[in-house]
Structure 1
Amino acid sequence: MIEKKNSVYNILGKIGLVLVLVFSLCYCSKNIYASSSNFNVNPVTPENQIDKSLGYFNLLMNPEAEQNLTFNLNNTTSKSITVDMSFSRSTTNDNGLAIYDSAGKTKDSSLQYNIEDYVEIPKKEITISAHSQVTVTAKIKMPQGANSGVLAGGFAFKEKKSKNQESTSKGVSITNEYRYVIALVIQQDTQKVSPQLKMNDAKATQVNSRNVFTANLQNMSPTYLQDMNAKATVKNVNNPEIKYSFENSDMKMAPNSNFNFAIPVSIQGNMKDQTSKALEPGKYHLTMTVYGVKNTNGTYESTVDGKAVKYEYKWEFEKEFEIAEEKAQKLNQSDPTVHYKEPINWLMIIGIALILIILLLIFLIFSRKRNKDSHQ
């Protein structure tokens, strides 16, 4: 009898071990992105730096002046590394943030002098020995006609890795991604230039497979539009009850750039048990108010997080546009949140199936044991 009981416990123990392994495989295969870098970058501040407390280059230059900028790169590891150096003009992404990555971005129609044409990087691939420092330079030039406002861009430094390079340990893959960006802002004088904001087209489209309205905003001036605060409402002309509103009070536009300000139509983020309403075809009316540059003595006032905030600049825009029935249907069909159905949770189904199999095995084992005992 004791041997039979032990055999039952051994079987149950093995089944339990299999379950633990199955769920471990389901949950433990994850990517972890390392939060540290193998190198650091320090710009060497030149004499013509406007504000020496800044961690980036903000230079006052004469027309057609040329100069070299210096960077110290330090390898903090015990092995040799290679760093790629690049330069891009400042642009505005569709989250309303000024960034230094012009890849895939068409030059803005208001951009007269592209700073990328006036920056030269002699050595774009830098090898740094273990625990050592190298000094690299970049050559810049101030164009003759850029006598007002600023030209802006950024130097990017990123460790070069082989394609899909990663280290693995105990089923966990670790991917190291770190990019240093040192901004460059050059100007011929320090006289203030006012931003000029314009609204171009408005339309219905998608962002991350979600239906949205977008309004293209363009900063036509060679200056940053700081502290940008936009509030927008879109109404269906024939049915005012169909209304969508959105605001963002924490934006910044690069000089001579544009971006698409999105007003969500579909539910964003976690859906839970909700579904998005289908986008209706028809005529729509967009109204938008934009504030810029916070100033306690500013002329214009808006409310941000329940508090009154004053700004130097204010713009108001209106635009009518139409969504064709075919366009609306196409957008609704490709938006997974419209007529949303909860996806099948295969992990839960597998877990329930395994539990049922275990219960069935236990039942069969004890039934077999009971039958044998009854015959003895």
Structure 2
Amino acid sequence: MIEKKNSVYNILGKIGLVLVLVFSLCYCSKNIYASSSNFNVNPVTPENQIDKSLGYFNLLMNPEAEQNLTFNLNNTTSKSITVDMSFSRSTTNDNGLAIYDSAGKTKDSSLQYNIEDYVEIPKKEITISAHSQVTVTAKIKMPQGANSGVLAGGFSFKEKKSKNQESTSKGVSITNEYRYVIALVIQQDTQKVSPQLKMNEAKATQVNSRNVFTANLQNMSPTYLQDMNAKATVKNVNNPELKYSFENSDMKMAPNSNFNFAIPVSIQGNMKDQTSKALEPGEYHLTMTVYGVKNTNGTYETTVDGKAVKYEYKWEFEKEFEIAEEKAQKLNQSDPTVHYKEPINWLMIIGIALILIILLLIFLIFSRKRNKDSHQ
């Protein structure tokens, strides 16, 4: 009896060990994110800083003036680290946010002076010894003709991952997601410049494999478009009841930049067993109202989250565009939220039916002829 109990316990113990190993393997295959940054960056504010309370550079410079900008980088760990330093002009991503990462972004057609051409960084990789500080100096220049508005970009600092950080012997992937971005805004005067907003192309496309309409919005002015609030509606011209609306009241556009404002057609994010209606081909009409720069004394008023808000600027746009049947089919087929059925090609079916009928008639005629010949 005791032996049987021991054998049962042994079996249970082995099963438990297997389960522990399985769960351990599953756990070790996950990413572990660092809980804090291993370094910090402090910009040294120069004398020509317009507002010394800001945590970034906002400088008043003369035409063709050159200047050095200083950063203090501190390693807070007991090991040597390497930090990647880069600089990018300010752009607007498709979420309507001004960012400092121009990778993959074509220069806007309205951009006359690219700040990336007027900033030099000493080196891309900076090594900092344990518990020590390194001072880094970048060089900037104000172009001669940029006499109105601002040029904007940002310095980025990110720890370079070592092989040990990327993967340990136990398969644990450690990812440090911390990146310091210090903005740089330079200008020759403090005169206010008004944003100039333009709508370009409107079309049907996809974002994250979901059907959307997009309207390309372009800020053609060398100034930020703050507090941007856009309301858009797309209607099918032949079926006005088929419409899609979307609003985003928390956006900001970089100077001389553009982005694609998306109006969702399909369900966004997690589907949760829901399905989206297929995008229909045809003619569509887009209307959009955009507000910018909140001001209690502003001329234009609208409602945001149930409250009246005043703005300094307002634009109204309209655009007609067409979705071809082939385009709609392609988008619907690649959208996982759409239970898409290939449309029935009645012309092909009728054509095949006619061919079969003709063949059947020919067969019957020849059959009768053979029967007559055989009886004769």
Same fold (TM over 0.5): yes
Deviation at 1:334, TM superposition (A): 0.8
Distance 1:349 1:313, change over 3 A: same
Contact 2:217 2:261 in 1 (8 A): yes
Name whichever of 80-89 and 259-268 sits farther off: 80-89
Once the two structures are TM-superposed, the CA of residue 57 in structure 1 deviates from its matched residue by 0.3
Question: Residues 323-360 of structure 1, C-alpha deviation per residue, up to 9 Å, x if partnerless?
Answer: 00000101111111111899999999999999999999
Distance change in 2, residues 1:351/1:83 (3 Å): farther
Q: Are residues 53 and 362 of structure 1, via their aligned partners in 2, closer, same or farther at CA, if it must alter by over 3 Å?
A: farther
Q: Is the 8 A contact 2:333 2:340 kept in 1?
A: no
Alignment of 1:271-310 (within 5 A): 271-310=271-310
Q: 1:307 to 1:365 in 2, by over 3 A?
A: farther
CA distance, structure 1, for counterparts of residue 14 and residue 354 of structure 2: 13
1:161 Cα deviation (Å)?
2.4
| Alignment CA distance shift 1:173-1:188 (3 Å) | same
Query: How far apart are 1:134 and its partner, in Å?
Result: 1.1
Q: What SS does structure 1 have at the residue aligned with 2:157?
A: strand
Partner of 1:254: 254
Q: Say which SS state the counterpart of residue 19 (structure 2) adopts.
A: helix
Query: Which moved further from structure 2: 166-175 or 56-65?
Result: 166-175
Alignment: residue pair count: 376
CA deviations on 1:288-339 (whole Å, 9 max, x unpaired) are: 0100000011111111111111100000100000000000101111111111
Q: Output the CA distance in 2 between the equivalents of 1:373 and 1:130.
A: 107
- Structure 2: which 5+ residue stretches go unaligned? none
Shift, 1:166, TM fit:
2.1
Deviations 1:90-142 (A, max 9, x none): 00000000000111100000001111111111222211111111111111111
Q: Deviation per CA, 1:260-290, whole angstroms, max 9, x where unpaired? A: 0001111011211211111111111101010
- CA drift at 1:48: 0.4
Distance 1:35 1:355 in 2: 72
Check whether the contact 2:278–2:340 (CA below 8 A) recurs between aligned residues: no
Aligned to 1:49: 49
CA distance in 1, matches of 2:283, 2:71: 54
Does the 8 A contact of 2:108 with 2:258 survive in 1? yes
Question: Greater CA radius of gyration, 1 or 2?
Answer: 2
Q: How does 1:32-47 map to 2 (within 5 A)?
A: 32-47=32-47
Q: Could you report, residue by residue, the CA deviation over 1:173-229 in whole angstroms, capped at 9, with x for unpaired residues?
A: 321232111000000110100000000000000111111100000000000000000
Deviates more, 1:20-29 or 1:238-247: 20-29
Question: Does the 8 A contact of 1:275 with 1:340 survive in 2?
Answer: no
- The answer (yes or no) to whether the contact 2:28–2:170 under 8 Å persists in 1 is no
For the Cα contact (< 8 Å) 2:33–2:175, is it kept in 1?
yes
Q: Look up the SS of the partner of 1:273 in the other structure.
A: coil
Question: SS of the residue aligned with 1:96?
Answer: coil
TM-score by length of 1: 0.86
Which deviates further from its counterpart, 366-375 or 210-219? 366-375
Distance 1:360 1:120, change over 3 A: farther
For 2:242, the equivalent position in structure 1 comes to: 242
Aligned in 2, Cα 1:33/1:366: closer, same or farther, shift over 3 Å? farther
Asked if structure 2 preserves the Cα contact closer than 8 Å seen for 1:267 and 1:276, the reply is yes
User: Shift of residue 15 of structure 1?
Assistant: 3.4
The answer as to whether partners of 1:232 and 1:246 remain within 8 angstroms in 2 is: yes
Give the structure 2 partner of residue 154 of structure 1: 154
Kept after mapping to 2: 8 A contact 1:274/1:340: no
**Alpha-carbon distance change, 282 to 342 in structure 1, aligned in 2, over 3 angstroms:** closer
Partner Cα separation in structure 2 for residue 20 and residue 278 of structure 1: 46
2:110–2:256 contact (8 Å) kept in structure 1: yes
CA RMSD, 1 decimal: 15.6
Measure the CA separation in 2 of the matches of 1:67 and 1:354. 82
State the percentage of identical aligned residues. 99
Q: Measured at CA, do residues 10 and 56 of structure 1 come closer, stay the same or move farther in structure 2, by a change above 3 Å?
A: same
C-alpha distance 348-65 of structure 1, shift in aligned 2 (>3 A): farther
Contact 2:60–2:189 (8 Å) recurs in 1: yes
TM-score, reference length from structure 2: 0.86
Tell me, what secondary structure is at the counterpart of 1:157? Answer: strand
Q: In structure 2, what is the Cα distance between the partners aligned to 1:138 and 1:278?
A: 53
Q: 1:16 to 1:342 in 2, by over 3 A?
A: farther
**Bigger Cα displacement from structure 2, 13-22 vs 129-138:** 13-22
Is 1:83 aligned with 2:62? no
